[in-house]
Amino acid sequence: MTQTPVRFGVVVFPGSNCDHDAYYVCRKILGQDAVFLWHKTADLRGVDVVILPGGFSYGDYLRCGAIARFSPVMKEVTRFAARGGLVLGICNGFQILVEAGLLPGVLLRNSSLRFACRYVNIRVENPFTPFTGACAKNEVLSIPIAHGDGNYFADADTVRRLEENGQIVFRYCSPEGEITPGSNPNGSLGNIAGIMNEQGNVLGMMPHPERASDAVLGHTDGLKVFTSIVEHVFSRTIPQLREEGDSVVVEQGRR
C-alpha cells in the first residue's frame, strides 16, 4: 500500500520572497505534494501543513507581519491551527504568527540596528516536536538567517512558561553548542531562535531551513525540519476499516 504524500501549502503574500524556496524543498527535494496559497484565499486546499515563508509581506509597513495577519488566508490558518494542523512560520512567517497571536511575544529590531544575513548555529532544545523529531537533543544545526527584526522579546512570565513547557525549540549557539552572547545575531532574549505554541503544532523560527536543504548549496541541516514534519504526518496515517458489501476495505486516513 503506497503512502499518500504529505500536502504542504505555502502561503504567498505580496512581498514574500522565500515561497518558491519552501515549495522547491517540499516538492523537489522531499518528493511530497505542495501547493501555493494566495493571501486572499479562504481555501487551504486540503493541506496537511501550512508554511508561512520569509520575505517582506506587504512591504513590512507598520510592523513586520502586522498587515499580513489581517489577510483572508490567515483567518483560515488560525482555524487550521486550532484544529491541530501543523503550521511553520519562517522569518517573516514567524513575525506574522506573533502578530496574529498564534505565538507569544514580539520580534523587535536587531540590537545592532543592522540587517543580519549569514549562517548561524542553532541548538535543538526540544527534539520531541513535529518539527524536530529527526534531530537529537542539543544537536547543533547550521542554518542561515536574513532579517532586520529578529530580536525576540517577551515578558518574564511568558518566558518562564516557554521554558517550563518546552516551547523554546531552538537557541542561537556557538559551533560547540554553547549559549553565548557572541553567538546571538540579533539580541534575542535568551538566545531564542524558535518557539512553538503550547499545543506543539505551531512553530516560528527566524533562521531559514529551506535555504539549507539542498546539497548543491553546501548545507542540508535545514532539511531535518522538513523531514521531521513529513515523518510526523506519516506517523498519524493509520489504516481505517470500512465495510463495503461483504468485504472489508482498508483506507488510509490521517488523524
pLDDT in tens, 193-241: 999 999 999 999 999 999 999 999 999 999 999 999 999 999 986 443 3
Structural domain count of the chain:
1
The residues that bridge with 240 in the sheet, in sequence order, are 251
Q: Is residue 240 part of a domain?
A: yes
pLDDT of residue 156: 97
Residue 116 has pLDDT above 70, yes or no: yes
Q: Is residue 1 part of a domain?
A: no
- Is 87 or 1 the better-scoring residue by pLDDT? 87
Residue 251 has pLDDT above 70, yes or no: no
Percentage with pLDDT > 70 across the chain? 92
pLDDT of residue 237: 66
Q: What does the pLDDT average to over 23-51?
A: 97
Residue 144 has pLDDT above 80, yes or no: yes
- Mean of per-residue pLDDT scores for the chain: 93
CATH number of the domain within which 68 lies: 3.40.50.880
Given the residues 99, 147, 208, 219, select the one marked as catalytic. 208
Residue 100 C-alpha from the chain's centroid? 15
64 is catalytic: no
Q: List, for residues 119-132, the tens digit of each pLDDT value.
A: 999 999 999 999 99
208 is catalytic: yes
- Residue written as grid cell 506573533: 98
Q: Kindly report the backbone phi and psi dihedral angles of residue 92, in degrees, each rounded to the nearest multiple of 5, phi listed first.
A: -60, -30
Q: Is residue 169 part of a domain?
A: yes
Q: Is residue 225 part of a domain?
A: yes
Q: Is residue 152 part of a domain?
A: yes
Q: What distances in angstroms separate CA 100 from CA 35, 38, 94, 154, one per listed residue?
A: 22, 17, 10, 15
210 is catalytic: yes
Are the C-beta atoms of 209 and 226 separated by less than 8 Å? yes
C-alpha–C-alpha distance, residues 13 and 110, integer Å: 23
In terms of residue numbers, what domain contains 83? 7-254
Q: Is residue 19 part of a domain?
A: yes
Given the residues 76, 99, 125, 210, select the one marked as catalytic. 210
pLDDT of residue 245: 40
Model confidence band, residue 2 (pLDDT cutoffs 50, 70, 90): low
Model confidence band, residue 247 (pLDDT cutoffs 50, 70, 90): very low
Q: Is residue 2 part of a domain?
A: no
pLDDT of residue 62: 86
Tell me which residue of 65, 56, 5 sits closest to 35, measured CA to CA: 5
Of 106-110, 160-164, 199-203, 232-236, the one with minimum mean pLDDT is: 232-236
Given the residues 64, 91, 135, 173, select the one marked as catalytic. 91
pLDDT of residue 61: 87
Amino acid letter, residue 206? M
Locate 39 and state its grid cell: 493571501
Q: Is residue 183 part of a domain?
A: yes
- Is 81 or 61 the better-scoring residue by pLDDT? 81
In this prediction the pTM is 0.92
Are the C-beta atoms of 54 and 16 separated by less than 8 Å? yes
pLDDT of residue 133: 98
